[in-house]
Amino acid sequence: MRSMILLAASSSLLCAAPPDFSEIPPAVEQLISEQKLAGAAVLIRQHGKVIYQEEFGYRDLENKLPMEEDTLFRIFSMTKAITSTAALMLCEEGKLSLDDPIDHYLPSLANRRVFRENGAPEKVQRQTTVRDLLRHTSGDGSAYSKIYRQAGIADRTVPLSAMIEKLGTTSLTYQPGKRWVYGLSSDILAAVIAASAGEPFEKVIQDRILTPLKMEDTFYQVPEEKAHRLSVNYRQKKGALEIVDPAKNSKYLNDPPYKGGGSGLVSSISDYGRFLQMIANGGIADGKRYLRQDTVELMRTNQLPRPIPFISFQKNKPRYGTGFGLGFSVRYAQDERWDPDAALAEYGWGGAASTHYWISPQDELIVITMEQTMPYNWNLEQLLKPLIYKAVRK
């Protein structure tokens, strides 16, 4: 609560009342009491500053270890935005081009065809580009789809380069640029980044993003001296929480052979807040420019081709009014059928353990919610989003 006290003190000097976030704690505590999550952390930044930060419940329910300000979380697909940022930095450096075919960098992915359920694979109508990878229109689906499982694409006991070699022996699941499909695009993008930079992907993001932004709690392997801060990862099942990945013996304590761009990083809520603040600032943080303003606009405005009206994970669950930029989902139109509390032009994403973030340019607002609950759910975001917007817009 210390951050709220500081806010109140500074705001009083300006004769302006701070936003009233008093509805947040009981809302989060209700979810905890219903065993929908073990604990959570909430961070709100506005006008470039932290205006609210609070932790609830436990990072380790069994051992009654509380959620704390520096708790570490498996961020899963929140890794993707960092990957996209690295790729766009290389574009600005002239080492990549958005419309380059990816086989320029990954020759093993040349000459792939498109899978057909009842017939021989068909020729591609055009090659997959770097732009396709950034907006998830690459033609490659999930690593866990049937054709990829059979080829061992989901094997994470091998390096990223080995996965790419295997991928080259498979067919695309659809024509590039024709559909938005959430799958391997960010992992392939990581391999493109490594090839174009001439160094491992993890070194690229470390040197260009994590170290300069002082994201000292973001890594693929949790250091031994920080292991006690890692949260337990839970699964909600039949009204109870069961452990998926413990903290003490977590696989994230080991150096993973596979360091991909789609998932894998561990981070703290404060670290990720610094990263998102750089994006919200138009590519600048602490006087250092990471990306040009026009490049950031490509990340946070809809870049899908006109024939793709919205993103969708399942045919019967379209996200109306929501497209995708070169890094984030984007709310380009208001539509009550999906996420009715979202602000126009809001952008963001999340991770498999129900971590969430969203940014509203019109409110100069960044919100991050962290928990470790699988399977992925919207409970915390959908509960808090209307409360937070109400508070900051009074």
H-run or E-run covering 242: strand 240-245
Question: Token pair of 177, please?
Answer: 């640029």
DSSP code, position 75 = -
Q: Is 262 helix (H, G, I), strand (E, B) or coil?
A: coil
- pLDDT at position 145, please? 87
- pLDDT at position 15, please? 54
Please report, for residues 216, 346, 362, the alpha-carbon distance to residue 59 in angstroms, rounded to integers and kept in the order given. Answer: 20, 29, 33
Which of 81, 195, 187, 193 shows the shortest CA–CA distance to 142?
187
- pLDDT at position 13, please? 40
For residue 89, is it within any domain?
A: no
* Terminal CA-CA length for the chain: 21
Q: What is the pLDDT averaged over residues 143-171?
A: 94
Domain boundary (198, 230, 253) is at 198
For residue 90, is it within any domain?
A: no
294-309 pLDDT, tens digit each = 999 999 999 999 999 9
Q: What percent of the chain has pLDDT over 90?
A: 90
Domain boundary (147, 166, 198) is at 198
Domain boundary (198, 219, 238) is at 198
Query: d(Cα 251, Cα 253) in Å, to the nearest integer?
Result: 5
Note whether 250 and 209 are same-domain residues.
yes
Please report, for residues 91, 98, 192, the alpha-carbon distance to residue 95 in angstroms, rounded to integers and kept in the order given. Answer: 6, 10, 10
Instruction: Examine the pLDDT at 317 and tell me if it is beyond 60.
Output: yes
Question: Token pair of 85, please?
Answer: 């940022």
49-97 pLDDT, tens digit each = 999 999 999 999 999 999 999 999 999 999 999 999 999 999 999 999 9
- pLDDT at position 116, please? 85
Note whether 210 and 338 are same-domain residues.
yes
Note whether 194 and 261 are same-domain residues.
no
Q: What is the pLDDT averaged over residues 199-226?
A: 98
Which of 16, 23, 17, 65 shows the shortest CA–CA distance to 42?
23
- pLDDT at position 17, please? 83
For residue 91, is it within any domain?
A: no
Full-model pTM = 0.95
Note whether 126 and 112 are same-domain residues.
yes
Note whether 186 and 157 are same-domain residues.
yes
Note whether 122 and 174 are same-domain residues.
yes
348-365 pLDDT, tens digit each = 999 999 999 999 999 999
For residue 192, is it within any domain?
A: yes
Angle, helices 24-33 vs 379-392, to 10°: value is 170
Question: Token pair of 100, please?
Answer: 């380059």
- pLDDT at position 108, please? 97
Instruction: Examine the pLDDT at 2 and tell me if it is beyond 70.
Output: no
- pLDDT at position 6, please? 41
For residue 386, is it within any domain?
A: yes
SS3 for 211-233 is CCCCCCCCECCCCHHHHHHECCE
Q: What is the pLDDT averaged over residues 277-283?
A: 98
For residue 370, is it within any domain?
A: yes
Q: What is the pLDDT averaged over residues 325-354?
A: 98
For residue 88, is it within any domain?
A: no
For the chain, the domain total comes to 2
237-250 pLDDT, tens digit each = 988 999 999 999 99
Note whether 350 and 293 are same-domain residues.
yes
Which of 321, 325, 307 shows the shortest CA–CA distance to 177?
307
Instruction: Examine the pLDDT at 14 and tell me if it is beyond 90.
Output: no
Q: What percent of the chain has pLDDT over 70?
A: 96
Note whether 132 and 229 are same-domain residues.
no
Look at the block and give the residue holding tokens 């219903």.
34
Q: What are phi and psi of 133, to 5 degrees?
A: -60, -40
* pLDDT class of 7 with cuts at 50, 70, 90: low
Torsion sign across C-alpha atoms 217, 223, 226, 231: positive
List of residues 6+ apart from 375 with CB closer than 8 A? 235, 236, 352
Count Cβ atoms below 10 Å from residue 341 Cβ, excluding itself: 16
Angle, helices 79-92 vs 185-197, to 10°: value is 40
Task: Please report, for the domain that includes residue 337, its CATH number.
Answer: 3.40.710.10
Note whether 166 and 237 are same-domain residues.
no
Instruction: Examine the pLDDT at 150 and tell me if it is beyond 60.
Output: yes
Note whether 273 and 337 are same-domain residues.
yes
Q: What is the mean pLDDT of the chain?
A: 95
Query: d(Cα 191, Cα 180) in Å, to the nearest integer?
Result: 20
Query: d(Cα 394, Cα 389) in Å, to the nearest integer?
Result: 9
Question: Token pair of 134, please?
Answer: 């950034």
Note whether 208 and 193 are same-domain residues.
no
For residue 261, is it within any domain?
A: yes
Q: What is the pLDDT averaged over residues 313-322?
A: 88
Let me know if 153 is exposed, middle or buried by CB neighbors in 10 A (0-12, 13-18, 19+). Answer: buried
Note whether 224 and 237 are same-domain residues.
yes
- pLDDT at position 9, please? 37
Q: 170 is in which domain, residue-wise? A: 96-198
* pLDDT class of 224 with cuts at 50, 70, 90: very high
